[in-house]
Structure 1
Amino acid sequence: MMLFSRVRGLPVLTPGGADRLGTVRALTVDAASGRVTHVRVRRGWRHGETVLALGTVEAVGQDGLVARPPAGRTEAPPHRDLLGSRVLTEYGEERGTVLDAAFDPADGRIEAVLTTFGEVPADRLLGLGDHALVVRADRPHRL
């Protein structure tokens, strides 16, 4: 398992270490499936950003990522930062702010989201939007 906070800022190299693609800016999450889908790589302030599908990442370690460069323009899904997001239940109840998330770099499966209110298991994630990360409530809502 790796934490999002440990991946951010790591160098991204091509196989064999011949070229440096940039540094990890963020991970894109599909909250409904509970998976990391893409890696957003900052190539420098003049060169913008490259988006790599998680399937192009061959290795992830504490010293960096090894990934195949994109073979052309990649269509990337919209990105919303998980880290720092507000957490709400499907009933609109506040559940803190996302501090970090643990995931399996081999398949992108999120294990847990760490919030200011505690740990939220990945099977409770419902969606991530501009406003908040929405999670399934612990118990049914009472009116």
Structure 2
Amino acid sequence: MLFSRVRGLPVLTPGAADRIGVVRALTVDAAAGRVTHVRIGRGRLRGQAVVAWEALGAVGTDMLVVRSADGPAGAPQHRDLLGARVLTECGEERGTVLDAAFDPVTARVETVLTTFGEVPPGLLLGLGDHALVIRTGHHR
């Protein structure tokens, strides 16, 4: 599933299928190569909820279902993967992140699509405020 296709999907509760909001973003632990949290927009006056990936009951192409919409204490700071600048560990520019594919069951990142091509998850080192840092395999 692509990150870009998840944005904007409705987020529902199980059973009554009450709408909580819509997916605003996915939080990624780049070093671990997995999605950790879902950021849910609840509307202009209701703010945002943060839900751990493990709190999801189902992930589909047209909606997400959460078991609980209560945000976890100590949710990690969010840095958006989409649109992030890509740098190697040596500081070389490697384009910009266009999209990323992940497995909706395991939350594992399968590939990161950049303006320079695909980056496999094994090359991801970290995602910070400045850029997504990737391993090149070359050492200085």
Tell me if both proteins adopt one fold, taking TM over 0.5 as the criterion.
Answer: yes
Correspondence 1:50 to 2:19? no
The TM-score, its normalising length taken from structure 1, stands at: 0.93
Name the stretch that deviates more: 12-21 or 90-99: 12-21
Displacement over 6 Å in runs of 4+:
none
Instruction: Provide the C-alpha distance between the structure 1 equivalents of 2:16 and 2:63, rounded to a whole number of angstroms.
Output: 11
1:3 paired with 2:2, answer: yes
CA distance in 2, matches of 1:123, 1:10: 28
Listed as ranges, the matches of 1:31-50 within 5 Å are: 31-50=30-49
User: Within 5 Å, which residues of 2 pair with 1:59-138?
Assistant: 59-71=58-70, 74-137=73-136
Percent identity between matched residues is: 71
Paired residues of 2:20 and 2:69 also in contact (CA < 8 A): no
Shift of 1:106: 1.0
Q: Match of 1:5, SS?
A: helix
**Measured at CA, do residues 119 and 46 of structure 1 come closer, stay the same or move farther in structure 2, by a change above 3 Å?**
same
For structure 1, the 5+ residue unaligned runs are none
Instruction: Quote how far apart the aligned CAs of 1:70 are.
Output: 3.4
Aligned 8 A contact 1:40 1:50 in 2 = yes
Aligned residues of 1:52 and 1:74 also touching (Cα < 8 A): no
Q: Distance in 1 between matches of 2:2 and 2:91?
A: 27
- Quickly say closer, same or farther: Cα 1:47–1:90, change in 2 above 3 A: same
**What is the deviation of 1:22?**
0.3
Q: TM-score, normalised by structure 2?
A: 0.95
Shift of 1:71: 4.5
CA distance 1:61–1:46, shift in 2 (3 Å): same
Preserved contact between residue 51 and residue 70 of structure 2 (Cα < 8 Å)? no
| CA-atom RMSD in angstroms | 1.4
Contact 2:51 2:71 in 1 (8 A): no
1:79 is aligned with what amino acid?
Answer: H
Retained in 2: the 8 A contact 1:51–1:74?
Answer: no
Gaps of 5+ in 2: none
Contact residue 13 and residue 65 of structure 1 kept, 8 A: yes
Offset of residue 19 of structure 1: 1.1
Partner-residue secondary structure (3-state), 2:15: helix
